[in-house]
Structure 1
Amino acid sequence: MGSASLARLHGLFAVYKPPGLKWLHLRDTVEMQLLKGLNAGKPPAPEQRVRFLLGPVEDGEEKQLTLKATSVPTLTNHRLVCGPEFLRLKIGVGHRLDTRSSGVLVLGVGHGRRLLMDMYDAHLTKDYTVRGLLGKATDDFCEDGRLVEKTTYDHVTREKLDRILAVIQGSHQKALVMYSNLDLQSQEAYEMAVRGMIRPMSKSPMLITGIRCLNFSPPEFLLEVQCMHETQQQLRKLVHEIGLELKTTAVCMQVRRTRDGFFTLDDALLRTQWNLQSIQDAIRAAAPRVAEQLEKNLRPRFNNQQLSSSDHPGDDSKSPGSTLRLESYSGH
């Protein structure tokens, strides 16, 4: 029973990481719950073996002891003798979230760890909602950091914020084309651009493919960001630099990932669902979509190798380079 349950665990699934929880602790918790479920299964019936045991035999008025063939269970594989059947699982973690962040976190069990590498090689975009607060600046760009400065923000309007966001998106889209190493004169490159399939060929700074304001209620504002090769700290710094461009200051109140590649919040298992049955069901439900999306996103990259004009852009001075632009967000 345990081996059959383990065979249904190979694959990818997503969980919802709450803020304040380290990704390593989350992984260990999921592993513990899976091991608990695997080892709680009903053990198979023990094997039987024949032993000759002494037993009484009535012979007239006298009782004698004689050896009788008896079938008895063997205890060499009993759980109380050899301990739990499963002691450790190999669980991989996809694009990580730091302790302060929350949202979709993709995990891979068994053979699913190789699929995590395929997701990484596909350079899929991720969606975040980022909440900012105007009028404050801290040493770590977070609301609870050490206060550095307080400013007024009455002059900030939704229109000014939207203009800044448009500048950010435009500069990063140009950088995305540069880091993709595509021959833009080719038909295949044109078709990839139409389908939104342009991806960087290797590591790059954080690239923002889309950014917009979802809500503006001064001093708070809420952004939706589509990006790749980011860290959550870079997103917090982005809020800080948007505040500077608006001639004020801003800190980040919340970073929440709502999509990681082809996994969304609807796919993410809540903490109460981190158990064997729920994870098996999630892996089985996601398997066809995982295979389809990886095939769709990896095939253009293999074909794209022939279109590449160089291994990596050699002159970073061609990148957009101001507080709103690519050089400010270098990192992976």
Structure 2
Amino acid sequence: MSRLLVCLDYTVRGLLGKATDNFCEDGQLIEKTTYDHVTRERLDRILAMIQGSHQKALVMYSNLDLKSQEAYERAVQGVIRPMNKSPMLIAGIRCLHFAPPEFLLEVQCMHETQQQLRRLVHEIGLELKTTAVCMQVRRTRDGFFGLDDALLRTQWDLHSIQDAIQTAAPRVARELRKNLSLMSGHQQQLPSAGQPWASRVQAPL
């Protein structure tokens, strides 16, 4: 079932020219550096290198034969997933905004922690021959759930949560069917959108 893992999307805001003990802007300052030599083109090259190395690791952790038809089809469909627990894997990374000293990244990843994303900003700074700290990490998508699906704090009540679950149920069922069919090569039997999931579970004899 681990191949059903989905990528999580984040926006990560970085600040060039500083290094701290915890990779955050409000951490204890360790070093200040210049960043006038950093360009958007250079940053894009570093991000492309990071994405390429992580995509190779993703294939390795998927336990797929690189020469097989299955590996080719999954790569085309973008559904290669690690079979077992792996380090943080980045499926995609790009710069959304570059206005030195600040920059904004979009990161699609699996098995991540916020600390690892903050460290990623630090490592990007080092690759750019300067330093960088993380100003903000914001999750924008979890699988097929985006910001439009999120509930406001004022909507954290039973009625709103039940409505959100019922609204999302058809989409969840469609996505599960699609993912399971890609894994097994045939359509799996899942409950329809209007049918309770519990009704599909048979009681033990």
TM-score bucket of the superposed structures, by smaller chain: 0.7 to 0.9
Matched residue type, 1:136: K
Structure 1 stretches of 4+ moved >4 Å: none
Number of equivalenced pairs: 185
* 1:296 to partner: Cα distance: 2.0
Query: Contact conserved, 1:125 with 1:227, CA < 8 A, in 2?
Result: yes
* 1:192 to partner: Cα distance: 1.3
Matched residue type, 1:214: L
Alignment of 1:276-295 (within 5 A): 276-295=158-177
Alignment CA distance shift 1:288-1:134 (3 Å): same
Is 2:179 the counterpart of 1:297?
A: yes
Alignment of 1:1-332 (within 5 A): 122-301=4-183
Q: Which of the pair has more CA radius of gyration?
A: 1
Query: Contact conserved, 2:15 with 2:102, CA < 8 A, in 1?
Result: yes
Measure, in 2, the Cα distance between the counterparts of 1:302 and 1:137. Answer: 48
Show structure 1 runs of 5+ residues with no match.
Answer: 1-117, 304-332
Q: What SS does structure 2 have at the residue aligned with 1:269?
A: coil
Query: Contact conserved, 2:18 with 2:32, CA < 8 A, in 1?
Result: yes
Measure, in 2, the Cα distance between the counterparts of 1:281 and 1:121. Answer: 29
Show structure 2 runs of 5+ residues with no match.
Answer: 186-205
Measure, in 1, the Cα distance between the counterparts of 2:179 and 2:110. Answer: 14
Tell which deviates more after alignment, 178-187 or 248-257: 178-187
Q: What SS does structure 2 have at the residue aligned with 1:216?
A: strand
Measure, in 1, the Cα distance between the counterparts of 2:25 and 2:165. Answer: 37
Q: What SS does structure 1 have at the residue aligned with 2:31?
A: strand
Q: What SS does structure 2 have at the residue aligned with 1:161?
A: helix
Q: What SS does structure 1 have at the residue aligned with 2:91?
A: strand
> What TM-score, normalized by structure 1, do the two folds share?
0.54
> What TM-score, normalized by structure 2, do the two folds share?
0.86
Query: Contact conserved, 1:129 with 1:223, CA < 8 A, in 2?
Result: yes
Matched residue type, 2:33: T
* 1:299 to partner: Cα distance: 4.1
* 1:294 to partner: Cα distance: 2.0
Percent identity over the alignment is 81
Q: Deviations over 1:72-119 (max 9, x none)?
A: xxxxxxxxxxxxxxxxxxxxxxxxxxxxxxxxxxxxxxxxxxxxxx7x
